[in-house]
Amino acid sequence: MATNIESLLHCTDLTISPKTIVELAKTIDVDLQAGYQQLITIDQDIGGVGLHNIHRRDGEYFTGNYRVEFRPLFRPIQYVFAWVTDEDLVWNARRIVQDSCLHVENAVKYRFDIPEGENASLGVLLSKRTVTTKLEPSFLVLLRKLNRVVYRTAKHSVEDIRIDAHRFTPADSLAVYLICRWAGVRLLEPTGIFNVWKRPA
């Protein structure tokens, strides 16, 4: 696992170790069903809305378990599901990272009532006074580092001649997903969204 991602992991209160995440990535590679079940267990411990409760079955297909107005927040997690279960974690690692970070970006917008139509990047959002004055300094530092060293790398330009380079390992991508889920819960919990997010049965 990349050192910068490992250091981000240590800034959270997640109890999973980098070694466990590396082993989890290997398990997913050789036994997707068993590895995915392990990931779901960790995800469930984080709480909030994640891979463990994002879907509901609609016939033979899955659909979002969230109310339509919360789609921007939780759709990126469904994309993570698609990338993880596509049976090619090496190729999909960057996509997992990008969509995990997009969940955080949209959580910041939701928490601070910034319109979805405002095309502000996470970096711009984290420099707004309305955001910086209300987040704990150490948490703000973590989010800025996540944006600077992870999210920006995942959103590489199509002009980048190294476009096919694998910027993240499978373990990196799973670690970033878990970090972003933890950060997403921390951002969203004060809003009360976890009491109202679910579609009626």
Average pLDDT, the chain: 93
Task: Tell me the mean pLDDT in the region 48-72.
Answer: 93
pLDDT digits (tens, 9 = 90+) for 129-142: 999 999 999 999 99
User: Is the separation of the CB atoms in 103 and 81 below 8 Å?
Assistant: no
According to the model, what pLDDT value does residue 80 have? 98
State the pLDDT at residue 162: 59
The share of the chain scoring above pLDDT 70, in percent, equals 95
User: Which residue pairs from 89-92 have beta carbons closer than 8 angstroms and sit at least 24 positions apart in sequence?
Assistant: 89/25, 89/28, 89/29, 89/170, 89/173, 90/166, 90/169, 90/170, 91/166, 92/173
pLDDT mean over 40-56: 97
Question: Angle at CA 154, nearest 5°, toward 150 and 157?
Answer: 130
Which residues pair with residue 62 across a beta bridge? Answer: 57
pLDDT in tens, 128-186: 999 999 999 999 999 999 999 999 989 875 555 555 566 899 999 999 999 999 999 99
pTM, two decimals, is 0.94
| Cβ 99 vs Cβ 80: under 8 Å | yes
Question: pLDDT value at position 116?
Answer: 75
Structure tokens belonging to residue 86: 């596509």
